[in-house]
Structure 1
Amino acid sequence: MFIPVAIHKDEESIFGVSVPDLPGCFSYGETEEEALHNTRQAVVFHVEGMLADGEFDSLTPSRIADLQESGDYDGATWALVDVDLSKISNKQTRFNVSWPEYLLRRVDAYAAAHHETRSGFLAKAAQQMLQQQS
């Protein structure tokens, strides 16, 4: 999906990039190329955060001409950043795992005691571990 971005550069500054379709999503780089590369990563990170917060449903990119008319990005250079958002989804997926029975019993007991499902508990545990490594 091609997402429009506004590139700003003041004299003696780095390149700054805003993503109008994702308020609060910004990036930068020493060169225009680096800024656009970093923006792809920023978009993915931003959408992942919105998904985790239950705030993202889908994205329909705006037209650059419409964004230019708004006047909010006067002086910006426009570009399209290609980001594959299909790899980021909240869609539930069933998968099989093989665990020792004692571990599964402990997980089920913990989940039941905290009024959670096994799947919900495992998803939270995975998210916490991944956030610790970030």
Structure 2
Amino acid sequence: MTHYVAIVEEEQGKAVGVWFPDLPGCFSAGDTVDEAMLNAKEALELWCHAMLESGQKIPPPRSLFELRADADIAQDLHQFMAALIPLPDSLRTQAAE
């Protein structure tokens, strides 16, 4: 199963935000971490369908190790929680390798 790393930003008194370093513009939120995780899965699927419908490819996911080596992402991984969100099997074969 293919998974994408999501950054989960949880701050006191705010909605829990989720975004995907490998999927520009793919983000979601929820009032709780559980709700944000459910919404992140839906956001991932909708984002991928939109990419395919517009004739674009789904970028391959990077590993957590690769993301930690990316200076643009490393600080967010240090400051916030990371989660693995599964790509639905129906879309897995369409993700770029």
Matching residue of 1:114: none
- Which structure 2 residues correspond to residues 1-134 of structure 1 after superposition, within 5 A? 1-56=2-57, 58-71=58-71, 72=73, 73=76, 74-87=78-91
Q: C-alpha separation between the residues in 2 aligned to 1:20 and 1:87? A: 18
RMSD: 2.1
Q: Using the TM superposition, give the Cα deviation of residue 60 of structure 1 relative to its aligned residue in structure 2, in angstroms.
A: 2.3
Gaps of 5+ in 2: none
Larger strand share, 1 or 2:
2
The structure where helix makes up a greater share of residues is: 1
TM value normalised by structure 2: 0.78
Contact map agreement 1:15 1:35 (CA 8 A) in 2: yes
Amino acid at match of 1:48: H
Structure number with greater CO (CA < 8 Å, separation at least 6) is 2
Structure 1: give runs of 5+ residues left out of the alignment: 91-134
Matched residues, percent identical? Answer: 27
Q: Given the superposition, is the C-alpha separation of residues 87 and 69 from structure 1 closer, same or farther in structure 2, using an over 3 Å criterion?
A: closer
Tell me if structure 2 keeps the 8 A contact 1:44–1:85.
Answer: no
**Is the partner of 1:51 in helix, strand or coil?**
helix
3-state SS, counterpart of residue 23 of structure 1: coil
Equivalenced residue count is: 89
Q: Secondary structure of 1:47's partner?
A: helix
- Work out the CA distance in 2 between the residues paired with 1:33 and 1:9: 12
Larger Rg: 1
